[in-house]
Amino acid sequence: MYRVAFAEGDGIGPEVVPVAVRCVREAAEGSVELFRVDVGWSAYRSRGSSLPRDSLDAISAADGLILGPLDVGSYPPGDPGSPSPSGRIRRALDLYANIRPIRSPPWSARQFDLVIVRENVEGMYADRNMHAGSGEFMPSPDVALAVRVVTRRGCRRILRVGFELASSRRGGLALAHKANVLRMSDGMMVEEARSMAASYPGVRYSEALVDALAYELAVDPGRFDVIVAPNEWGDVLSNEAAGLAGSLGLAPSLNAGDSFAMAQAVHGSAPDIAGRGVANPVAMVLSAAMLLEWISSRRGDRRLLEASASIRAAVDGVLSDRDPGVLTPDLGGHGSTSSMESAICSRLARGR
């Protein structure tokens, strides 16, 4: 029995996370125990921290985490979990690889299937790139400075994830960088990528300035297989790719380290639609499926691999049906979170 924690988070989180939890319960058929932890505004209001110590301890002791969207940056000054509880979890558990697969929906005239591999604990993100303190500070009221952290170890391990993934897919890897101006930091990433490419003769390695790559991604996303990028570039590129797919509600992600992984959809807390029952749960559901596959790969348990595949097949079936009464408004339908949940779980039940 595997133990997986889940936290509903903020905004639409309490609407979409329960759908993912239900899908895992039904697909895994008793091989996964799911338990709730408190993270986000609910934790702050009741416990005085958006990431209480006992929540982090419970997460660390589990086999994985399903984390709902968080209203990052909104927590009050002095909150111990601020500004980003998810960033603190990534740092505490060394979840250095953010895997973001993005596929076009079945009805799209432009079909593509790519994965963005984003470095997750270094770069410009001030909430997670320092051992102590913040990577962003103001020496005077009129000057703000931010530190960008890039290490060889960080470059090598995220590149390794990318090359291994490309080897298991269509064999293409593109590196996004800005080494023409960030010659030391992004230059280090380029240097390590070129060196590692020699160890993967079956992978077609290419590299491009991130602005040029963003343009090529918009023009012809089908040409890409795996894109590896430093933290900030990967964050932006993956949102661009989700837009090309038609909705952030279709974009899952997994934050993975060597011994732990956290499922967390690419989208945010979407306060504009929170509480209306129209949030698309697909990204959260597929993120949970990625977590099951990751646990399976680490534990050699085929049951979880099959559970992950059944969830993806159920989602694919619902999207392929393109029933406007089921699909949420972001996908052009007039359905609801509940109608999507019912349709996905119905397909899961038929598939068993």
* CA angle (170, 176, 177) in 5-degree steps: 155
Averages of pLDDT over runs of 10 residues in the chain (352 residues) are 96 98 94 96 93 96 97 86 87 95 92 96 80 84 93 97 97 97 95 97 97 96 97 93 91 96 95 96 98 95 95 96 96 97 94 67
Assess whether 287 and 199 both reside in one domain: no
Q: Which of 223, 245, 267 is the last residue of a domain?
A: 245
Tell me the backbone φ, ψ of residue 130, rounded to 5 degrees: -125, 145
Assess whether 206 and 116 both reside in one domain: yes
Three-class SS state of 103: strand
Assess whether 155 and 42 both reside in one domain: no
Residue 11 maps to a domain: yes
Residue 122 maps to a domain: yes
Assess whether 6 and 89 both reside in one domain: yes
* pLDDT for the residue numbered 83: 79
Domain that holds residue 347: 1-97+249-352
Q: What is the residue type of 327?
A: L
Residue 102 maps to a domain: no
Contact between residue 70 and residue 269 where contact means Cβ atoms under 8 Å apart: yes
* pLDDT for the residue numbered 234: 94
| DSSP H/E element including 160 | helix 152-168
Assess whether 138 and 229 both reside in one domain: yes
Assess whether 300 and 334 both reside in one domain: yes
Residue 139 maps to a domain: yes
Assess whether 320 and 263 both reside in one domain: yes
Pairwise CA distance, residues 206 & 41, whole Å? 43
Nearest Cα residue to 263 out of 24, 38, 12, 1: 24
> 102 has which bridge partners?
114
Q: Which of 204, 221, 245 is the last residue of a domain?
A: 245
Is 172 exposed, middle or buried (CB count within 10 Å of its CB: 0-12, 13-18, 19+)?
middle
Q: Which of 214, 245, 276 is the last residue of a domain?
A: 245
Residue 170 maps to a domain: yes
* pLDDT for the residue numbered 109: 87
Q: How far is CA 118 from CA 61, 75, 159, 242, 288, in A?
A: 25, 25, 9, 14, 18
Residue 17 maps to a domain: yes
Assess whether 154 and 257 both reside in one domain: no
pTM: 0.93
Assess whether 231 and 123 both reside in one domain: yes
Assess whether 114 and 93 both reside in one domain: no
Assess whether 44 and 70 both reside in one domain: yes
Assess whether 240 and 261 both reside in one domain: no
* pLDDT for the residue numbered 352: 60
Q: How many domains does the chain have?
A: 2
Q: Residues with Cβ < 8 Å from 153, sequence gap 6 or more?
A: none
Pairwise CA distance, residues 182 & 238, whole Å? 21
- The radius of gyration of the chain's CA atoms, rounded to the nearest angstrom, is 20
Residue 184 maps to a domain: yes
CATH number of the domain to which 282 belongs? 3.40.718.10
